[in-house]
Chain A
Amino acid sequence: MFGSFMEHYFPYASQMGSDFTQATEETVLMTVSAMIIAGVIGLIIGILLLLTGSRGLSPNAPLYWVLDQIVNIGRSIPFIILLAIIMPFTRLIVGTSIGTTAVTVPIVVGTIPFFARQVQNALLEVDPGVVEAAQAMGLGNLAIVFRVYLKEGLISLVRSVNFTIINLIGLTAMAGAVGGGGLGATALQEGYQRGRTDVTFVAMILILIFVFLTQIIGNALLRLIAHGRA
């Protein structure tokens, strides 16, 4: 019954079970690895923006200006253009410019400024009064970053990560257009370009499931760390 239903409405997709499994794995892999790499670098840049800003713990106008410009410009370049521009750099560090690994490079590069700005904004929400109290207690800047900003800003940070992952899933799909793998590539190359609408549709459903799962996990995590507030 189910089998004939699938064959009738999803003539091509129903034959591609293992392709979808592999594409899903690739999408998850790209998203997770990009999130980890861009997460670490973006976190560091976000914290530097926070510290060197005019109301930061150690204001440094020139450094702030440089970081701020990099982040601004980085966020302004459309991803599809970044993909192309960054190809030589990609080839330099991973040896090739096509495939899942290669496409992770522009995804990381595109995500760093996006995430850095979110980290900065998330941490700016931390009550300056609490920071002042910590200073009055004799904490140094590094201790304040770890024990005050990252701890008090954790809820906002988790929200940012959540938001960034969902954004990343979009980027991985777009990367499919230029020889990356994953569900985006399947939807475009196997589905759209061959006129196989059912394939595109299934790929889209799988992407949506991934997005929803991210949100569910994120919300569960938020509830866990919020201890009943917010």
Chain B
Amino acid sequence: MIELNDIVVKFPQKGHVVTAVNHVSLAVDDGSMYGIVGFSGAGKSTLVRVMNLLQKPTSGSVIVNGTDLIALSERALRKERRNIGMIFQHFNLMESRTIFDNVDFPLKGSGISKVERRQRIEKLLDLVGILEKKDAYPYQLSGGQKQRVAIARALATDPKILLCDEATSALDPKTTIAVLQLLKEINDRLGITIVIITHEMQVVKEICDHVAVMEEGKIIERGEVADIFSNPQKPLTQDFIRTAGHIDQAETTILEHVAGEDVYELRFSGSRASEPILIDIYKRFGLTANILYANVEYLQNKPLGTMLVTFDSSDQLGEVEQHLQQDGISMSKVVR
């Protein structure tokens, strides 16, 4: 369990102060896969670095697994950090050490016997699928392989939490999926809580159960991934979601066919069928909807429905939107 309470992080610069994190409170439950999305400079990295106190907050408290990190002595904090693994965008492996020695790095001096260490390291390298490279050096590996090593290293001390700062941002789409699957597997099999910082909503959609959207140092929206995807409130969240869907590609083609008409996007929890929604609109408002696109996909086993529709009249659309909103369906005009 990670609890951030009213965290503020300020960086005094020459002449002004940058507030990277602005009164953020956040709770990440044990075993959760928590995604934090936002554009560059939103304060994501700063926030995640607060979680292991690599970044001391200007104010606020950080409670990890029941321990108040800020109250700890330097020594006790270092010990606590061994329970919080971390991986990075650029992997940060030690170039001068073999893959095996990189994973061994956090274990040296931990009082574990050499034999036991060897067993653990080989088990971890096997888990991340890179055991055959154990005697290689990092420069001999691809990006995806390096990140696997970094994951094994982060898991070496048996942490309960794994922090991932843009862990897949330097990888190609296919490798990204593979690394995300690995993280998911680690979460499932080892029950490790994972916090994932990313600027790609696709990553969140792929593996997270919760998500927080950050903008200018604040969390502007948060919740279960399925809920956020079916009913995003903030325009920024809607933007992020649009970039994560297949709809993005379909949209261009569809919009070309209905040039000049206003297209609306409806998102809803897919347990509801699309027909009744549109019939309901017709009954209440006398509007006929024309479905251009409809899709149901599954996020963490919860169905998520998306529709693109046009209406035969633009009267009362405000009321329609309000009505749908009360029903847990988000409606937004597609901007083109």
- Whether B94 pairs with A136 at a CB distance below 8 angstroms is no
The closest CB in chain B to the CB of A127 belongs to B92
Closest chain B residue, CB of each to CB of A226: B96
Query: Which residues of B sit under 8 angstroms from A135, Cβ to Cβ?
Result: 54, 81
Most buried by B among A129, A137, A227, A228: A137
Q: Is B285 an interface residue (CB 8 A)?
A: no
The residues of B that contact A127 with a CB separation of less than 8 Å are 92, 95
Interface-side segment among A5-13, A98-106, A147-155, A175-183: A147-155
Q: Name A139-184 residues within 8 Å CB distance of B.
A: 139-140, 143, 147-148, 151-152, 154-155
Judge if B93 is at the interface, Cβ distance under 8 Å: yes
Type the 1/0 row for B74-89, where 1 means its CB is closer than 8 Å to any CB of A: 1100111110111010
Residues from chain B with a CB closer than 8 A to the CB of A227 are 96, 137
B92 touches A132 (CB 8 A): yes
Per-residue CB contact flags for chain A residues 60-82 toward chain B (1 = under 8 Å, else 0) read 00000000000000000000000
Interface residue tally of chain B, by bracket? 20 to 34
Chain A contacts of B81 at CB under 8 A?
135-138
How far does the alpha carbon of A227 sit from the alpha carbon of B157 in the complex, in Å? 27
CB distance from A156 to the nearest CB of B (A): 11
Q: How many A-B residue pairs have CB under 8 A?
A: 65
**Residue A194 interfacial (CB < 8 Å):** no
Q: With contacts A228-B137, A229-B139 known, is A136 near B95, CB below 8 A? A: no
- Complex Cα spacing A228 to B108, Å: 25
CB pair B84 A129 closer than 8 Å: no
- Write the nearest CB–CB distance from B211 to chain A, whole angstroms: 23
CB of B298 within 8 A of chain A?
no
Q: Which of B86, B92, B153 has the most CB of A within 10 A?
A: B92
Q: Please tell me which one of the listed residues A137, A143, A229 contacts residue B82 in the complex, with CB atoms under 8 A apart.
A: A137
Contact assessment for B94 and A152 in the assembled complex, using a CB-CB cutoff below 8 Å? yes
Taking CB atoms, residues of chain B closer than 8 Å to A138 are 78-82, 106, 157
For the complex formed, measure the closest distance between the CB of A54 and the CB atoms of chain B, giving whole angstroms. Answer: 12
Residue from A130, A132, A228 in contact with B94 in the complex, judged by beta carbons closer than 8 Å: A130
Interface residues of B in 24-77 (CB under 8 A from A): 52, 54, 74-75
Contact A133-B78, Cβ < 8 Å, known A147-B105, A229-B95: no
CA distance A134 to B150 in the complex (A): 12
User: A183 to nearest B CB, angstroms?
Assistant: 37
Q: Does B90 contact A (CB under 8 A)?
A: yes
Please name all residues of chain B whose beta carbon is closer than 8 Å to the beta carbon of A148 when the two chains form the complex: 94
A137 x B92 contact (CB < 8 A): no
- CB–CB A152/B92 < 8 A: no
- Give the most central of A132, A140, A143: most B CB within 10 Å: A132
Write out the residue numbers on chain A whose beta carbons fall within 8 Å of the beta carbon of B90. Answer: 129
> Is B97 interfacial (CB 8 A cutoff)?
yes
Considering the chains assembled together, what is the distance between the CA atoms of A60 and B150 in angstroms? Answer: 32
* Interface pairs (11), CB distance under 8 Å: A132-B92, A135-B54, A136-B163, A137-B157, A138-B78, A138-B79, A138-B82, A139-B106, A151-B96, A154-B96, A227-B96
10 closest cross-chain pairs (CB), A and B: A138-B81, A129-B92, A133-B92, A136-B86, A137-B106, A138-B78, A138-B82, A229-B139, A130-B92, A152-B96
Interface residues of A (CB under 8 A from B): 127, 129-130, 132-140, 143, 147-148, 151-152, 154-155, 225, 227-229
Given pairs A137-B106, A148-B94, 5 additional interface contacts (CB within 8 A): A136-B86, A138-B78, A138-B106, A155-B96, A228-B137
